[in-house]
Structure 1
Amino acid sequence: MSNTSQQLKQATIKNMSSNIWKMYAVTAANQAFFLMPIIVLFFQENGLSIQQVFVLQGLFALTSMILEVPSGYLSDRWGRKPTMVTGSVFGICGIIMYALSTTFWGFLVGEVLFAVMLSFYSGTQDAMITDTLIELDRVEENRRAIGQLHFFGLLSQAIASVIGGFIATLALQAVVWATLPPLIVGLALACLLSEPRRHKHRLKTSGGLQH
C-alpha cells in the first residue's frame, strides 16, 4: 500500500473515530433544555390556560409517537447525519417559535417542530454510534459508548434545568432564548459528523431525547 493510501486510510479512521466524541457533544447540546422547568409557567405567562398547556403536551407526545417509525425509516434510507442535521434545523425553528409566539397556535407550531427534532434524533443517535463502531471494528465498545451518550444527555438536562431556574429570575422569555445557542452548537457539530455505512440490525431504542 502506498504512503498516500495509508495516509488517506488513517485520515478516514481518524475522522470516523471523532464521531464518538462529537455525538456525545451533540447529545449534550441538544438536551440543554433550559426551559424545561419553566415551560408551563412560560405558557401561562403568555395567556394560555392550564387546559391549553395539557393539549400542547398531548399533541407533542402524539406527534413524537406518529413520527417514531417514519423517522427511523428515514434514518435508514437517507442517512444518520442528514436525519440529525434536519432534526436540528426543526428544533431551532421550534425554539424560535416558542420565543416569538404569544398565542396557542404559535406554541402549537413550536411543539410540533420540536417533536420532529426529538423524533429524528431518537434511535438515530444510537445508530450513528453503532454504525461508526462497526466501521472501526470496535463493536465491543458499543454498549459502553451508548451508555455514555445517554449519560451526557441526562447530565446536560440536569445542569440546564438548574441554570434555567436561575435565568428565570430575570425573565421567562430569556430562558427560551438561552435554549437556542446550544441547539445551534449541536447543529454545527452534527454537520461535522462523518457518515458511516448503515447496518440494518437495529431497531429504534427508548433512549432517545426526552422532552
Structure 2
Amino acid sequence: MTRSISGNISKLYLIKIAKWFMLTMPIIVLFYQENGLSMQDVLTLKGIYSVAVVALEIPSGYIADVWGRKKSLILGSILGCLGFVVYSFSSGFSGFLIAELILGIGSSFISGSDSAMLYDSLLKMGKEKEYLKQESRVMSVGNFAEALAGIAGGSLALISLRTPFIFQSFIAFIAIPASILLVDPNQNSIKLKVGFNHILSIVKFSLWDNAKLRWNIVLSSVIGCATLTLAWFIQPYLRDLDMEVSTIGVIWTLLNLTVGITALSAHKVEGFFGKKGTSIFIVIGVSAGFILTGWFNSLIGVGVLFFFYFVRGIATPVLKNYINQITESEMRATVLSVRNFIIRICFAIIGPFLGWYTDHFNLSSALMLAGGIFFVLGGISVFFMIKVEK
C-alpha cells in the first residue's frame, strides 16, 4: 500500500504539469483584445471566473474530504479539458464566459484536493515533515512547465492567437488518466458526516474559532490574490513597452523559471529567516513589486517583475505549509479551499476595479495603487498572525 501511495507524487506532478503547461497564458490578454475585449472586460471575465470558483470552492473541498480527493481530482481534470475545448470554438465575451465557468468549476475541484492529497500521502508514509520540500518541488515542476509553455505558446501564436487554445485541450487531457491512477491514502478512513451545517462549522472553525489558523489563511490569501492580480497585468505592461508577442513569450518563460528555481529553495529560505521574518519579507516584497513596476514603466520595471516572481516562488509553498501544519487531515481540503475561496473573492472585487482604473487612467498608476492595497492588507495580516502566535 505504501508503495502504491508513494506513486501519487509522480502522478500529482503530471496533474500539475497538465494544469500549468499553459500555452495560452503568454497571449491570452492579446487574444481577448483581438476579439474586441477591453481591459475592464478582461478582468471582469476573470472576476466572473473567480466567482465560479468561489461558488464551489469550499463545497468542493468538503466534497473532496467526504467523497475522496481522487474522485474530486478526476472530475476537475475532465472539466479542465472540456473548458479549453469550448474556448477553441468560441469568440466574443459570451463564448469565453461559458468556457471560463467550466474551467472555474473544474479548478474548484482540483484546488485544495491536490495539496491535501500530497500532504496525506506523505503523512501515510510517515514523511509529513517533507511536505514543504515536496510542495516546493511540485510547484517548481508546474512553473517549469509554464515556462516552457511560454515559448511553445508564443511560437504557436505566430500561426494564430487561437492555435494555443486548440493545443491546450490536448495538454489538459493528460490530467485525466493521471488522476484516475491515484491511490487515495484515506480510502479506508471514517468519512465526515455530509451536511451543509458541517461545512459551515469547518469554515467557522477556520476563520473564527481558531485565531492562529485564521490569520495564517488570511495572509496566504492576500498574497495569493496579489500574485494572481499581477499575472493579468504583465502582458499589457510588456505590450506598452512595444514588445513583440514572441518576446513577451520569452519573458513569460523566464519569469516562471524564476519561480520554479526559487521554489526549490523555499524551505531553506524559511528555515533561515523563520516564520516571522519570512512573512514580513513576503509582504514587503510583493507590495514593492507592484509599486516599483508601476513607477518604472521601462525595462527597469521588467527587472522588478523578476524580483516579484522570486518572492512568489518563496511565498506560495511556505504560506501553504503554515496552514497544513495546523490543520487536521479530515478537514484539510476544506480548509485549503477556504484559503482559495478568499483569494477568489478578493480578486473578484479588486481585479475588475483595477481593470476599470487602468482603462480610465493608466496602467502604471493602477499597479502602484494595487501595491498600496496589498501592503495594507498584508501588513494587517502579518501583525495579527504574529500577535496570536505569541
TM-score of the two chains, using structure 1 as the length reference: 0.85
* C-alpha separation in 1, matches of 2:2 and 2:185: 11
One-letter identity of the residue aligned with 1:200: E
Q: Which residue among 115, 120, 127 is the counterpart of 1:126?
A: 115
Gaps of 5+ in 1: 1-11
> Do the aligned partners of 2:82 and 2:169 also contact (CA within 8 Å) in 1?
no
Q: Deviations over 1:58-103 (max 9, x none)?
A: 2112222332211211111111111011001111111011111123
In the TM superposition, 1:88-107 aligns within 5 A as: 88-107=77-96
SS of residue matched to 1:177: helix
Q: Which residue among 21, 42, 52 is the counterpart of 1:32?
A: 21
Q: Which residue of 2 aligns with 1:5?
A: none
Q: Deviations over 1:97-150 (max 9, x none)?
A: 111112321110101111122222111111001111122222222221112111
Moved over 4 A (4+): none
Count of aligned pairs = 198
> Do the aligned partners of 1:19 and 1:129 also contact (CA within 8 Å) in 2?
yes
TM-score of the two chains, using structure 2 as the length reference: 0.48
Q: Which residue of 2 aligns with 1:83?
A: 72
One-letter identity of the residue aligned with 1:21: S
> Do the aligned partners of 2:11 and 2:179 also contact (CA within 8 Å) in 1?
yes
Gaps of 5+ in 2: 190-328, 345-390
Q: Which residue of 2 aligns with 1:42?
A: 31
Larger Rg: 2
Q: Which residue among 180, 185, 188 is the counterpart of 2:174?
A: 185
Q: Which residue among 115, 126, 137 is the counterpart of 1:148?
A: 137
Q: Deviations over 1:133-191 (max 9, x none)?
A: 12222222222111211111122122212221111011111110111122111111111
The question of 1:116 aligning with 2:99 is answered: no
One-letter identity of the residue aligned with 1:163: A
Q: Which residue among 155, 158, 169 is the counterpart of 2:147?
A: 158
Q: Which residue of 2 aligns with 1:138?
A: 127
Q: Which residue of 2 aligns with 1:204?
A: 336
**Which structure shows the higher helix fraction?**
2
* C-alpha separation in 2, matches of 1:187 and 1:46: 30
